[in-house]
């Protein structure tokens, strides 16, 4: 990961507050990966469970790094700052840099939909305000502080996506960012390998609300049993499809997932999607509360383009591909499959799935449940890959459904190319480590 330093003065002031004796030369950016270093960068040598940036100082120097931040002795001629922990120093610096902003900070987290919600909220509010927002999936305890250091301090609104793979990480990020508003999309069993149970996931996510000031605003998904019961000590705004709330939505045509109405404002989604409709409801509530008109919110939602790998639509040789390949857990997979099941199509509906990771001790049982779920949906064919998906393959009981499992993605791609025909719709999903986007490339090239 690499960022540009867009506000040198604020960065230097923040650094001086922590290290008054440092005379920093002009620098262009910060990189934590020696492969991404550009001339004039600071190389930040982070240490982690699987890597140690100090091992790559020489490569960073050869790439043109101008400065180092280290916590160990290194063999380099570059000027450097030595600190007790490069990770903690990064967070302390970002927290100091936060003082240069005079605008609201909006935090978004959740088990599913947080990136699309962040992108949609950014698209909507950017019609009225100068926005800064975390890019891509830079939502970790490292990605968020680095993103913050890249932001223009003259922004009128800042949106921070926050992710967690272990307990306590959301609170750690909030301590750096100090949000004024917060939204939790939902709570499901993601990263159970590290959290243990859904209740621990909920406790970690709740930090977005518990760290808000009394004058802040918490946006709650009232349809979610975990989020709706969270303690909130500031202004509380609810949104829901199935529960009374400040902002309520209904589908104008049942299970069309195309046209919805939010507080009597009709909105046509850019792509039919139940998940995108839920994201749109959350964004409508947030944008309304900061003063945007319903008409402007509607206009912005209807012109939104879904981020790549998160449900965006591709069309090739008469075949439609729903690219949901970025990541997967049980609930998001079910939602995407159900959405496909209810999509109008002249051709066949084909599901292509790779293993779901980080599900803990219940991973095989969850993959079995996914097969049982698929059996009840209106799907014509299922193509599966990965050792865990073999359990899903055996759990699909609908014998009318074409159902194949493959030991590798290349064999699956070859079989899929033989099977698909004009008019078919493909839904492709799997955990990040499965790299299911390679199957899409194999279909479209």
Domain hosting residue 13, numbered range: 2-82
If asked whether residues 130 and 29 sit together in one domain, one would say no
If asked whether residues 143 and 187 sit together in one domain, one would say yes
Strands (E), 252-373: 259-262, 265-268, 312-316, 319-324, 349-354
Q: Is residue 87 part of a domain?
A: no
Q: Which of 274, 302, 330 is the last residue of a domain?
A: 302
If asked whether residues 26 and 107 sit together in one domain, one would say no
Q: Is residue 350 part of a domain?
A: yes
If asked whether residues 437 and 337 sit together in one domain, one would say yes
Q: Is-contact 255 240, C-beta < 8 A?
A: no
CATH number of the domain enclosing 423: 3.90.190.20
CATH number of the domain enclosing 290: 3.40.1190.10
- The span from the CA of 353 to the CA of 236, in Å, is 38
Q: Is-contact 409 292, C-beta < 8 A?
A: no
Q: Is residue 277 part of a domain?
A: yes
- The span from the CA of 113 to the CA of 110, in Å, is 7
Q: What pLDDT does 216 receive?
A: 97
pLDDT in tens, the chain (445 residues): 899 898 989 999 999 999 998 888 889 999 999 999 999 999 999 998 788 999 999 999 999 999 999 999 998 999 999 999 999 999 999 999 999 999 999 999 998 889 999 999 999 999 999 999 998 778 899 999 999 999 999 999 999 999 888 888 999 999 999 999 999 999 976 555 666 688 888 999 999 999 999 999 999 999 999 999 999 999 999 999 999 999 999 999 877 888 999 999 999 999 888 999 999 999 999 999 999 999 999 999 999 998 888 888 898 888 999 999 988 888 889 989 998 998 888 899 999 999 999 888 889 999 999 999 999 999 999 999 999 999 999 999 999 999 999 999 999 999 999 999 999 999 999 998 999 999 999 997 6
Q: Which of 271, 302, 333 is the last residue of a domain?
A: 302
Q: Is residue 95 part of a domain?
A: no
Q: What pLDDT does 404 receive?
A: 96
If asked whether residues 40 and 110 sit together in one domain, one would say no
- The span from the CA of 183 to the CA of 205, in Å, is 10
- What is the total count of domains within the chain? 3
Q: What pLDDT does 190 receive?
A: 58
If asked whether residues 224 and 247 sit together in one domain, one would say yes
- The span from the CA of 173 to the CA of 399, in Å, is 48
If asked whether residues 225 and 295 sit together in one domain, one would say yes
């Amino acid at each position: 990961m690499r960022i540009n330093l867009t506000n040198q003065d604020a960065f230097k002031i923040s650094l001086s507050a922590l290290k008054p004796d440092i005379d920093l030369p002009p620098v262009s950016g910060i990189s934590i990966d020696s492969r991404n270093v550009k001339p004039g960068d600071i190389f930040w040598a982070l240490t982690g469970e699987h890597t140690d940036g100090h091992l790559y100082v020489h490569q960073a120097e050869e790439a043109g790094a101008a400065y180092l931040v280290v916590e160990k002795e290194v063999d380099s001629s570059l000027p450097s700052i030595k600190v007790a922990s490069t990770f903690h120093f990064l967070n302390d610096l970002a927290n100091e840099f936060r003082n240069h902003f005079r605008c609201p900070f909006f935090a978004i987290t959740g088990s599913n939909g947080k990136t699309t919600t962040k992108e949609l909220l950014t698209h909507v509010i950017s019609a009225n305000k100068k926005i800064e927002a975390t890019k891509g999936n830079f939502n970790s305890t490292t990605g968020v502080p680095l993103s913050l250091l890249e932001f223009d301090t003259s922004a009128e609104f800042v949106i921070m996506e926050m992710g967690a793979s272990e307990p306590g990480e959301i609170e750690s990020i909030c301590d750096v960012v100090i949000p004024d508003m917060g939204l939790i999309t939902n709570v499901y069993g993601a990263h159970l390998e590290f959290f243990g149970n859904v209740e621990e996931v909920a406790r970690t996510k709740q930090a977005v609300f518990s760290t808000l000031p009394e004058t802040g605003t918490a946006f709650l998904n009232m349809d979610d049993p975990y989020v709706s019961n969270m303690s909130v000590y500031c202004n509380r705004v609810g949104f829901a499809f199935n529960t009374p709330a400040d902002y309520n939505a209904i589908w104008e045509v049942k299970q069309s997932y195309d046209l919805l109405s939010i507080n009597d404002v009709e909105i046509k989604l850019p792509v039919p999607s139940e998940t995108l409709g839920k994201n749109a409801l959350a964004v409508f509530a947030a944008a309304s509360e900061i003063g945007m008109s319903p008409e402007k919110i509607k206009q912005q939602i209807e012109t939104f383009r879904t981020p790549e790998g998160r449900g965006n639509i591709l069309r090739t040789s008469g075949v439609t591909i729903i690219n949901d390949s970025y990541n997967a857990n049980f609930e998001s997979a079910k939602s995407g499959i159900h959405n496909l099941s209810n999509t109008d199509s002249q051709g066949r509906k084909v599901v292509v799935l790779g293993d779901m990771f980080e599900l803990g001790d219940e991973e095989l049982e969850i993959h079995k449940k996914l097969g049982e779920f698929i059996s009840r949906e209106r799907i014509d064919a299922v193509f599966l890959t990965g050792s865990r998906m073999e359990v899903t393959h055996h759990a699909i009981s609908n014998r009318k459904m074409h159902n194949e499992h493959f030991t590798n993605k290349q064999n699956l791609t070859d079989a899929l190319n033989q099977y698909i025909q004009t008019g078919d719709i493909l839904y492709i999903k799997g955990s990040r480590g499965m790299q299911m986007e390679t199957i899409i490339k194999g279909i479209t090239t």
